[in-house]
Amino acid sequence: MSELSLNDADDALRASNPLVNKLGRFVPLKEEERDALRHLGRNARLHRRGCDLIAEGDKPDSVFLILEGWAFRYKQLADGSRQIMAYLIPGDLCDIRIFMFEEMDHSIGLLSDAKVVKIPAAEMLDLLDRFPRIERALLWATLVDESTLREWLLNVGQRNALQKISHLFCELCVRMSVVNLVDTSETFALPLTQNELADTTGMTSVHVNRSLQTLREDGLVQTGQGKLTILDFERLARIAGFSQTYLHIDGPPVEQKLRARLAQPM
Amino acid sequence: MSNLAVYRTGIRTNSADENALLLLVDGQLVAILVELADEGHGEERGRWAVEAIFGLQNDRIPQSFPSAADATAWISASVGREPFRAMEDLIELP
């Protein structure tokens, strides 16, 4: 695994940790809980695009937290065909109890250079024991990962080429905005090649290319230099049939809404 | 004598990729090849890709081929036939 040391090991600690932004959408966090999450980011390392954080068959002994850059989950067939099952963006953790697996059933690779924290199993378990609200927030995050996977399955199996790409772009825009990585012109980093989009959506890269051309010609998106600009989110969402309900990020934190709902007389 | 037949035809892809070849084995359609003519293909432009295949389940399809002859040869090999050699004078379908 290629690793580069950070110039300043405390960078990640001082910088705002995207995990705090993300989990705050699920459970309102107290300052000591925010501090604990920021503390998790203290041993970040820079890894190069193309390397695997962990590969199928490896024995997992820690949890990965992405602070910067993008990672992805994938599985590969013997002939080299690959299916990408998830993108992990800043603030995302691979499964919080991944170390409970005897061995990995899939691989996690990097789509861009990335700043990643490797959290040892013992530290993760200790954190979950000490901060039950963080544990609940991470449970919400896991539920959303699962609902996102269901949405991706629908995408791969049922939507047409243009809808697949449009839906993915809408989702990524919403997810990146949660961690404050979309600028005012609806532009965000999209470190994906056409091949990677093809392996995500189950299309050939020729078909991905044509869909991208159509979206550009219709004035819906702009691409270039590893970035995507969504020029007309509403129209793109209409083409995709995109509704962000499955991301569970609307309004107050979901746990507040849940408590209010449970408190109402039946 | 090969019983692989190749015909030229147009194809609607909503892009500048308008030239296609139909490949038939024993009178049955097995593949549609398309010329990557659209500017959006970048470095792939000018190459040929498999737009669709029928009844082939063996190989992983390469992303593209340098020429129509190469693409046709790959399909021929996939169906266990001699490569189709008369690429110059193909019949054009209406």
Partner residue facing A205 (CB), from B13, B15, B63: B63
Angle between helices A194-201 and A205-217 (to 10 degrees): 110
Assess B44–A contact: CB distance below 8 Å, yes or no.
yes
The 10 Å Cβ neighbour count of residue A46 is 17
CATH assignment at residue A28:
2.60.120.10
pLDDT of residue A266: 62
Asked if A216 and A169 count as a contact pair (C-beta separation under 8 A), the reply is no
Domain count, chain B: 1
Partner residue facing A206 (CB), from B14, B49, B59: B49
pLDDT of residue B15: 86
pLDDT digits (tens, 9 = 90+) for A2-27: 444 444 444 544 456 899 999 998 99
Whether the model clears a pTM of 0.90, i.e. scores above it, the answer is no
pLDDT of residue A16: 66
Domain count, chain A: 1
Q: What's the domain range around B63?
A: 4-92
Assess A202–B contact: CB distance below 8 Å, yes or no.
no
pLDDT digits (tens, 9 = 90+) for A98-130: 878 889 999 999 999 999 999 999 999 999 999
Q: Which residues of A touch B40 (CB under 8 A)?
A: 209-210, 212-213, 216
Name residues whose C-beta falls within 8 Å of residue A74's C-beta, 6 or more positions apart in sequence: A82, A83, A84, A85, A106, A107, A108, A109, A199
Whether A80 and B64 lie within 8 Å, measured CB to CB? no
Q: Which of residues 56-85 of B touch A (CB under 8 A)?
A: 59-61, 63-64
Res. A230 pLDDT band, cuts 50 70 90: very high
Structure tokens given for A11: 């960078």
pLDDT of residue A165: 98
Name residues whose C-beta falls within 8 Å of residue A51's C-beta, 6 or more positions apart in sequence: A1, A2, A109, A110
Assess A210–B contact: CB distance below 8 Å, yes or no.
yes
Whole-number percent of chain A with pLDDT over 90: 77
Mean pLDDT of chain A: 90
Minimal C-alpha gap between A74 and chain B (Å)? 18
ipTM confidence score: 0.79
Asked if A128 and A122 count as a contact pair (C-beta separation under 8 A), the reply is no
pLDDT of residue A250: 82
pLDDT in tens, chain B (94 residues): 457 889 999 999 988 999 999 999 888 999 999 999 988 888 899 999 999 989 877 667 888 999 999 999 998 888 877 777 677 778 888 7
pLDDT of residue A15: 53
Whether B40 and A209 lie within 8 Å, measured CB to CB? yes
Q: What's the domain range around A34?
A: 3-263
pLDDT of residue A54: 95
Mutate to test the interface with B, among A209, A217, A218 (most CBs of B within 10 A): A209
Task: Name which residue leads in pLDDT, A262 or B88.
Answer: A262
